[in-house]
Amino acid sequence: MNFDLTPEQDQLRDAVRALGRKYGHGYFVEKARAGEHTTELWDDAGRLGYLGVNIPTEYGGGGGGITELAIVCEELAAAGCPLLLLVVSPAIVATVIAKHGTDDQRERFLPGMADGSLKVVFAITEPEAGSNFHRLGTVARRDGDDWVLSGRKCYISGVDEAQYVLVVARTEDASTGKLKPALFVVPTDAPGLTHSKLDMEIVSPENQFLLYLDDVRLPADALVGESLDAGLPALFAGLNPERITVAAMGAGTGRYAIERASDYTATRKVWGGRSIGSHQGVSHPLAHAAVQVELARLMIYKAATLYDAGRDLEAGVAGNMAKYAAGEAAALAVDTAVQALGGAGMTTEYGVATLLGAVRAGRIAPVSREMILNFVAQHVLGQDKSY
DSSP string, 116-160: TS--EEEE--BTTTBT-GGG---EEEEETTEEEEEEEEEEEETGG
Using alpha carbons, select from 321, 275, 277 the residue that is nearest to residue 301.
Answer: 321
Distance CA(207)–CA(192), nearest Å, equals 21
CA distances (Å), 62 to each of 46, 117, 162, 170, 364, in order?
Answer: 11, 16, 22, 33, 31
The per-residue pLDDT for range 13-68, each reduced to its tens digit, is 999 999 999 999 999 999 999 999 999 999 999 999 999 999 999 999 999 999 99
Confidence of residue 172 (pLDDT cuts 50, 70, 90): confident
Q: Is the dihedral of CA 92, 203, 321, 46 positive or negative?
A: positive
d(CA 165, CA 30): 27
- Supply the pTM of this predicted model: 0.96
Q: Determine the pLDDT at residue 319.
A: 98
pLDDT digits (tens, 9 = 90+) for 262-297: 999 999 999 888 999 999 999 999 999 999 999 999
CA atoms of 206 and 161, how far apart (whole Å): 9
Residue 354 has pLDDT above 70, yes or no: yes
∠ at Cα 172 (171, 174), nearest 5°?
Answer: 140
| 8 Å CB contact between 133 and 168 | yes
pLDDT at residue 175 is higher than 80: no
Q: Binning pLDDT at 50, 70 and 90, where does residue 173 land?
A: low
- Looking at the chain, the whole-number percentage of residues with pLDDT higher than 70 is 98
271 strand-pairing partners: none
Q: Strand, coil or helix: what is 215?
A: strand
Q: What is the DSSP string of 249-285?
A: HHHHHHHHHHHHHHHHHHH-B-STT-BGGGSHHHHHH
